[in-house]
Structure 1
């Protein structure tokens, strides 16, 4: 009996294996399907907006929400810049690098490196190059220390750009007593302002500096950066319409779809938006998010670069849905060619292809068409 049972079991196994093999060999039938509309939580960007005129009206509302978020109404009165040039170095016979300083508040000076190519034949495009969270920020942007992948000033000056690389306000020449990127002193001085409002305002003043230079074409100014400098690029482009092209690399996450949203309003060290902390702790988000801030840049040029494995992978996948909705705005503005995004798997990096895309984006939108035009080979 036991032998008969074993034989039956073996026969059944053979039948199952045969059926499995047959199924694997059968052709898969896939039927034709029409594309379905992708919906997401980011769709509120254009909710109730169908025409360009309606978008223009809605954009004014979003801009005010943005200014309220950074608490722009509490910025100090803009002082005379009183630009000073501290030293000059000629780099490889290609460009002049100068350490400069200028007033950003009464009695408070920002420091920056300014790079000017030596062979300019007229006013050139200019870029504000923003460093990430690094104590000696402008030195890294100039290629003097740390990671040469982030030496934007050096790279861009060699490609014909005038570049200003300012220190973040809690780095370089202005590191607080409590250490780099500690904002305690700032909030004691400006309890109603925000760190984001402060650095955005200062980066706008860096554009003022560029506009004083005869070597700069004021109609061709861009901004780019990585990490803290990446979202600094977004905040500046949304704030200052003199920015004609911007590229943000590995910028920070947004408010929604973010399990670590409280990081935008820590209770220590670098505090972006101090005033939103009580709401965040109660689970309440600000009345504006990053897709709306990004949409403020339209129709001017904006490039977003991000890594799917840079932080929470679920959050970064939401970024793609967010960017798709921003493209809808650029299409509404009839400027889809001015928006692009690149998503990769290299984490929080400024890899070669990312740099090439950022610099190429600047070339496309800030240089004459002849600079990027191709041509046939002459026989």
Structure 2
């Protein structure tokens, strides 16, 4: 058995989705369950397709070297697939009747061999093991994968590779030679701006022609794409690692084409809205020209979900039967062998429905945990032909299909059940994980990813559930006032955090920005009157002026008020959407990251977080839940619970923080389901800087040293031993200048 399979220790994980009301005539998505059918747990092919291979009227599955006969899924050899540097050279299984003989063939677009080839369906329903002939099309360069698009609108699908060092599309023609079909392929070059990771096709400007999109903009399709020139429009900037394809779809039903995309090797799923002239006019009325300069004029990107990573394959299908297309996306397994952010976290597959009235996406779990992933090329198809849409899940960790139970449900006993949360008795020991009640030592990054998920689950037992995508309303950033400092602008803004609440914040933007720069989310300490203002140097202690100092050094800084502090009035007793003030603050900070990502002056992969005291532990909490925080600085923000005022946790129990500590866990450290060594472990292997003065009267330094000793072996195991820096200055509860100078130098190295 391949070594990778021994790492698959995942257990099923279920995130509860918040209910979103729908019209009575529509199917309640909470009634839609999926059953996982394991086709081949040993399969290492990353692409699959459904077609009737043996002409029996049932859809079979083609995946790599094999095809699987429905409904018993017995496998038959189909072709030889070359293995190059540990990966099978089969990055797509596109179904196309290439030779027009009535049988669907397979087109493969590849990275490592830099080839395009097609496999001829022999059309023999008797000899089920007959190999399909492989015929090379071209070797133009490396392709992430490819998709089928009728680019020239002639009624026949063409092949569109996502070339990383070339840009072209391929059309095939069939002629008859001696009574046999002769297939010829013709290559048509595309603008070199389309070279990169991610491509999509759709009518962007509403002229009825096929345009092409990529992370750096879009190419306007000519009337005759075989002969005429494409026109390049650098109108937007998506992530450089967009998944496949970039979906072109009118998300909000306003008559123009929007974009849906995932980060194939990083965090999040997003949609980029094409704004109408009326929307542009309304947006400009609320803001200054200055703020508009740092945001895209015609395109606005919205985060859909940033709780997971590696969304390399995106599909659209009507999952709930309401005649509207939904988004289907799953995590890729180990695309870069564990080196990408979040890549070692447990696998998950979701579908998302756009709620037009609220302008949010509701998230619905298809499958989580175990060896179910969607790698490079898949299909949403009614595989069992019962009237609803199922999902193929091909991956290097196995092949499954996920049966939609909306119509024609099979054995309900196979449906997923709520996960029993694993119990951890020793919260200082972060070197083990629990599976089926048994402890196992953490020996690799995948096992750490499982423990990390357990930590986040246990934190939510105390803090309350982290909101899902249905709380991600449009940010609606509004500018209140602009003030100038010597080196930066200080912009007073508010933004919509959730359906119920706006967050006041300062946005500090260095002057004369010529290119995107790193950004910091700056969280303030306890000061009810000043709140965020103290960090900007508008009062209070100079040792708290770190947002001002960072902006002076060239960072874009976002400085929100904590609920109930500064100008942020918030009655916790009247808001039951969150079980704690801590979770409300975490969600506000996640939305603050959305604000930073929306600014063209910010490098989205270079965002850190810094905080002192109250801000110190909220920086850790926020970084634990959102991997977009690439490094974190915590000053005087925590220690092990048993060392917090000798184990007296009363200070943590108000509505502003975590009331369940008192109401559920009786304020006893030994009864808590998580502790700060685990919070730090949820951040590993990302860079961490901790300032823990030896005379801190709030957070006794002994408890910080315990946390350091707990996570040091984990950093070492994950090959980032130098990423954690703990400073123990001879001070009380303070953030002294010599430590801040160290932090600023450290941040320069990290970001």
Output the TM-score relative to the length of structure 2: 0.40
Task: Give the direction of change, closer, same or farther, for the CA distance of 1:327–1:287 in structure 2 (3 Å limit).
Answer: same
Given candidates 648, 666, 688, the residue that maps to 1:302 is 688
Show the 5 A alignment for 1:48-197: 48-52=440-444, 53-73=446-466, 77-92=471-486, 94-135=487-528, 136-175=530-569, 185-190=571-576, 193-197=579-583
Match of 2:729 in 1: 344
**Structure 2 contact 466–587 (Cα < 8 Å) conserved:** no
Task: Give the direction of change, closer, same or farther, for the CA distance of 1:160–1:255 in structure 2 (3 Å limit).
Answer: same
Task: Give SS of 1:45's match.
Answer: coil
Show the 5 A alignment for 1:209-288: 209-258=595-644, 259-266=646-653, 271-278=656-663, 279-281=665-667, 284-288=670-674
Q: Tell me how far apart the structure 2 counterparts of residues 281 and 66 of structure 1 sit (CA, whole Å).
A: 15
Higher relative contact order (CA 8 A, sep 6+): 1
Task: Give the direction of change, closer, same or farther, for the CA distance of 1:311–1:213 in structure 2 (3 Å limit).
Answer: same
1:289 Cα offset (Å):
0.5
1:283 Cα offset (Å):
6.5
1:334 Cα offset (Å):
0.9
1:338-374 deviations in Å (ceiling 9; x for gaps) = 11110122010111112112222211100xxxxxxxx
Task: Give SS of 1:280's match.
Answer: coil
**Structure 1 contact 97–114 (Cα < 8 Å) conserved:** yes
Q: Tell me how far apart the structure 2 counterparts of residues 124 and 138 of structure 1 sit (CA, whole Å).
A: 22
**Structure 1 contact 255–285 (Cα < 8 Å) conserved:** no
Task: Give the direction of change, closer, same or farther, for the CA distance of 1:207–1:43 in structure 2 (3 Å limit).
Answer: closer
User: Normalized per residue, which structure has more helix?
Assistant: 1
Task: Give the direction of change, closer, same or farther, for the CA distance of 1:218–1:281 in structure 2 (3 Å limit).
Answer: closer
Q: Tell me how far apart the structure 1 counterparts of residues 599 and 466 of structure 2 sit (CA, whole Å).
A: 29
**Structure 2 contact 690–726 (Cα < 8 Å) conserved:** yes
Structure 2: stretches of 5+ with no match in the other structure: 1-425, 433-439
1:151 Cα offset (Å):
1.3
Structure 1: stretches of 5+ with no match in the other structure: 1-40, 177-184, 367-379
Task: Give SS of 1:44's match.
Answer: coil
Q: Which runs of 4+ in 1 moved over 4 A?
A: 73-76, 281-284
Q: Tell me how far apart the structure 2 counterparts of residues 169 and 43 of structure 1 sit (CA, whole Å).
A: 30
1:45 Cα offset (Å):
1.5
Task: Give SS of 2:716's match.
Answer: helix
User: Normalized per residue, which structure has more strand?
Assistant: 2
**Structure 1 contact 264–271 (Cα < 8 Å) conserved:** no
1:312 Cα offset (Å):
6.7
Given candidates 664, 681, 701, the residue that maps to 1:316 is 701
1:57 Cα offset (Å):
2.5
1:261 Cα offset (Å):
3.2
Aligned-residue Cα RMSD (Å) equals: 2.1
Q: Tell me how far apart the structure 2 counterparts of residues 311 and 74 of structure 1 sit (CA, whole Å).
A: 34
Q: Tell me how far apart the structure 1 counterparts of residues 695 and 574 of structure 2 sit (CA, whole Å).
A: 37
Aligned length: 314
Match of 2:677 in 1: 291
Task: Give SS of 1:319's match.
Answer: helix
Task: Give SS of 2:537's match.
Answer: coil
1:138 Cα offset (Å):
1.4
Task: Give SS of 1:243's match.
Answer: coil
Task: Give SS of 2:430's match.
Answer: helix
Given candidates 690, 698, 716, the residue that maps to 1:331 is 716
Q: Tell me how far apart the structure 2 counterparts of residues 113 and 85 of structure 1 sit (CA, whole Å).
A: 10
Task: Give SS of 2:429's match.
Answer: helix
Output the TM-score relative to the length of structure 1: 0.77
**Structure 2 contact 642–669 (Cα < 8 Å) conserved:** no
Match of 2:339 in 1: none
**Structure 2 contact 466–583 (Cα < 8 Å) conserved:** no
